[in-house]
Structure 1
Amino acid sequence: MKVLIVKLSALGDVVQSLPVAMAIRRQLPEAQIDWLVERPSAGLLQDHPALDRVLVSPRHEMSEAQGLPLSPLTGFGRALRSVRYDAVLDLQGLMKSAICVALSRGERKIGWRGGKEPLAALAYNHKLAPFDPDRPALERYLDMLEPLGLERPAKIEFGLSPRPEELAAARSLLPWPDDGRPMVILHPMAKWDSKLWPLASWVELAKLLGAQGVRLVVSGSRDDRNIGRLIARHSELGEGLLDLTGRTGLKELAALLTLADAVVCTDTGVMHLAAALGTKVAALFGPTAPWRTGPSGAGHEILRAGLDCSPCFERFCGDAQCMIQISPDQAAQAALRLVSGR
């Protein structure tokens, strides 16, 4: 069997979709499994044990090019149509993914009826019933196995395990000796403005954890470097806090998450990546619902203010009390519980 999985973005969604690829690989070890993804998340899928080929959408390349960049689109179209698939699974369910499904060569094109962009279903010749949005996203993605005649896995596997050289490279970034002192990663950013926790709260959290002898790493992308510098400067922890914003790719970040004793983060892709790697997280939830998009597995700490307006699923909020009212002390205590548990 030849299967194409279409899950373009974002990082958390891609991570939560990996159990679908792993389940197919376990039950059909000789299958060809390809994955279509966008550039920001592509690095995580390279050399993944369940995948034979990773196709990268040219959307970002085209948006950055000047003029009319036809060559990336032409090359992508040839690669996409170079294989006749037995099944194409659209785990995104949006128009941008449905267009790719429509362009692909597949006997069965499988996706959900309805959803955020109902017109996407026009690309499918096998339509699943509209899903319940309050079901965990990972469970919804596994519904795609049924049309393939496959069973839902008894054990959820993500297939993410940093290689020894990646772990060694991650350790080389850390300035501290391996003396058993705990290390916690702080990931302060999120794509939604409404998910952000106040900078002052991150600084106070760093001070509280640093006072308990916890070593801290701030993670983030190049766009997050200013936030990382501010947390490092105002927490006044010196060598007790390492700012790695903008200094790691996805593979390096995955290795660092594996080395950490716990992660404190917003509801974002790094939360899902850490949980998939087996690292416990203290996750700050405000406008979104942990029962929908919470970290996979048991033993995590979910922090919410419990306001009546939460979750609202709004990307922007002029007040954001649902995040503001989560105190640094609550987050510090949650992180310390995770550290002591490990």
Structure 2
Amino acid sequence: MLHGMSGKIRGGQGVTQGAALKRVLVIKHGALGDMVQGFDAFAGLRAGLPDTHLALLTTPPFLDLAGRMPWVDEVLCDRRAPVVNLAELWRMRGIFRAGWDAVIDLQCSRRTAQYHRRFAPTSTRWFGTAAGASDPYPDFSGVNNADRMRIGIEMAGGDRNVTAGLDWLDSGAAGPDGELLGATVLVPGCSAAKPQKRWPADRFAAIATAEMETGRKVAIVGTAADREAADAIMNATPGCVDLVGRTGLGELAALFRHAGAVIGNDTGPTFLAARVGTPTLMLMGADTDPSMSAPVGARAGWLREDRISEIASDDALAALDRLRSG
């Protein structure tokens, strides 16, 4: 059964609105899918606190993306150094003691809980799940990650109903070649640490074959880490356009914005495709909880089996067609 394309925010009842917050630090380390899921929250925080100095603390892979966001005034780097790196811990202490009125923890990890315990002044409000937080989040069981972040920023005075504009994301980026307008894009990659989240290459190849038989162009995207999966698809369906390692984030957004459909694993680019409004199907196994991690978008959906390899290519094609027609 195809899931997605609708839903509502749950949780957050009875939260306390922030007031007179002049300096706010937001924590979001990544990964790419989580950053994309947070776009509406970042925009909503800016809308609700238009005169507040907003800083975003993130990790090195996302400094460029964060710097391009139109909603933040300052980007700070968390290298997530080990505790034995005393110089780095001292630097992080300085960040958290830089006169923030509030910290909005959108990462909610063990590391950020340690930051709250070790570094945050008692005078700084802390919105999050850390023990002893001044503004604890409500029970987020069954709430999508994007909605969790919206609720978090609302507690601090943001507007959780804002939908972020994303024209800035591919501004200045080269658009896809004319032959790829309306193409079907395959996203066969996934985290190297979780290969079980990867739908088999032969299933992607079956999708590519079926799409090309209807006259559609098919492109494959990913990073160098996805080279093996992409090559397996290319060997089975040599008519695909190989874009692996050839798209930055801006080019990827432009490609997705002009694509006819996107199908991929639980990985950052699939979230991006869904968020720009392209018909997008995410394929999930037991490692993905859709109540938390389903892609958000007007025409996004997902299929899930305990073993991702049990998702049949025919079922995926049918689901993709329903998203296209919806």
Q: TM-score, normalised by structure 2?
A: 0.81
Cα distance in 2 for partners of 1:209, 1:258 equals 18
Look up the match of 1:226.
Answer: 228
Shift of 1:151: 4.4
Residues 46 and 298 from structure 1, CA distance in 2 versus in 1: closer, same or farther, beyond 3 angstroms?
same
Look up the match of 2:289.
Answer: 289
Cα distance in 2 for partners of 1:74, 1:257 equals 42
Q: Aligned runs of 1:275-286 on 2, under 5 Å? A: 275-286=274-285
Is the CA contact (8 Å cut-off) linking 2:45 and 2:159 kept in structure 1? no
Residues 325 and 10 from structure 1, CA distance in 2 versus in 1: closer, same or farther, beyond 3 angstroms?
same
Higher relative contact order (CA 8 A, sep 6+): 2
Greater Cα shift, 142-151 or 187-196 = 142-151
Q: Which residue of 112, 124, 140 corresponds with 1:107?
A: 124
Is the CA contact (8 Å cut-off) linking 1:220 and 1:246 kept in structure 2? yes
Q: Write the deviation string for residues 289-325 of structure 1: whole angstroms up to 9, x where unpaired.
A: 33322121333232234xxxx4xxxxxxxxx2xx222
Look up the match of 2:26.
Answer: 5
Residues 88 and 333 from structure 1, CA distance in 2 versus in 1: closer, same or farther, beyond 3 angstroms?
same
> Which amino acid in structure 2 is aligned with residue 89 of structure 1?
I
Q: How many residues align?
A: 299
Cα distance in 2 for partners of 1:256, 1:74 equals 42
1:335 and 2:320 correspond: yes
**Structure with more of its chain in helix, by fraction:** 1
Look up the match of 1:14.
Answer: 35
Cα distance in 1 for partners of 2:167, 2:61 equals 17
Q: Write the deviation string for residues 28-66 of structure 1: whole angstroms up to 9, x where unpaired.
A: 21211111111223332222111111222223xx68xxx
Look up the match of 1:133.
Answer: 141
Q: Aligned runs of 1:194-213 on 2, under 5 Å? A: 194-213=196-215
Cα distance in 2 for partners of 1:108, 1:58 equals 23
Cα distance in 2 for partners of 1:98, 1:325 equals 38
> Which amino acid in structure 2 is aligned with residue 91 of structure 1?
L
Is the CA contact (8 Å cut-off) linking 1:161 and 1:277 kept in structure 2? no
Is the CA contact (8 Å cut-off) linking 1:35 and 1:51 kept in structure 2? yes
Is the CA contact (8 Å cut-off) linking 1:49 and 1:159 kept in structure 2? no
Is the CA contact (8 Å cut-off) linking 2:200 and 2:309 kept in structure 1? yes
Residues 32 and 81 from structure 1, CA distance in 2 versus in 1: closer, same or farther, beyond 3 angstroms?
same
Cα distance in 1 for partners of 2:258, 2:119 equals 41
Residues 336 and 57 from structure 1, CA distance in 2 versus in 1: closer, same or farther, beyond 3 angstroms?
same
Look up the match of 1:256.
Answer: 255
Cα distance in 1 for partners of 2:90, 2:253 equals 33
> Which amino acid in structure 2 is aligned with residue 324 of structure 1?
S
Cα distance in 1 for partners of 2:274, 2:179 equals 25
> Which amino acid in structure 2 is aligned with residue 157 of structure 1?
A
Is the CA contact (8 Å cut-off) linking 1:21 and 1:33 kept in structure 2? no
Shift of 1:218: 1.0
Look up the match of 1:183.
Answer: 183
Identity %: 30
Residues 160 and 295 from structure 1, CA distance in 2 versus in 1: closer, same or farther, beyond 3 angstroms?
farther
Q: Structure 1 stretches of 5 or more lacking a match? A: 113-119, 311-319
> Which amino acid in structure 2 is aligned with residue 302 of structure 1?
W
Residues 207 and 145 from structure 1, CA distance in 2 versus in 1: closer, same or farther, beyond 3 angstroms?
same
Q: Which residue of 49, 57, 63 corresponds with 1:42?
A: 63
Cα distance in 2 for partners of 1:161, 1:27 equals 20
Residues 104 and 36 from structure 1, CA distance in 2 versus in 1: closer, same or farther, beyond 3 angstroms?
farther
Q: Write the deviation string for residues 155-177 of structure 1: whole angstroms up to 9, x where unpaired.
A: 432646434421xx243xx4x54
Residues 148 and 283 from structure 1, CA distance in 2 versus in 1: closer, same or farther, beyond 3 angstroms?
same
Cα distance in 2 for partners of 1:44, 1:160 equals 13
Cα distance in 1 for partners of 2:165, 2:146 equals 11
Look up the match of 1:315.
Answer: none
Q: Aligned runs of 1:32-181 on 2, under 5 Å? A: 32-59=53-80, 78=94, 80-81=95-96, 83-101=98-116, 102-103=118-119, 107-112=124-129, 120-121=130-131, 124-129=133-138, 131-153=139-161, 155-157=162-164, 159=166, 161-166=168-173, 169-171=174-176, 174=177, 176-177=178-179
Residues 177 and 243 from structure 1, CA distance in 2 versus in 1: closer, same or farther, beyond 3 angstroms?
closer
Is the CA contact (8 Å cut-off) linking 1:221 and 1:245 kept in structure 2? yes
Residues 261 and 328 from structure 1, CA distance in 2 versus in 1: closer, same or farther, beyond 3 angstroms?
same
Q: CA RMSD for the aligned pairs? A: 2.7
Is the CA contact (8 Å cut-off) linking 1:50 and 1:159 kept in structure 2? no
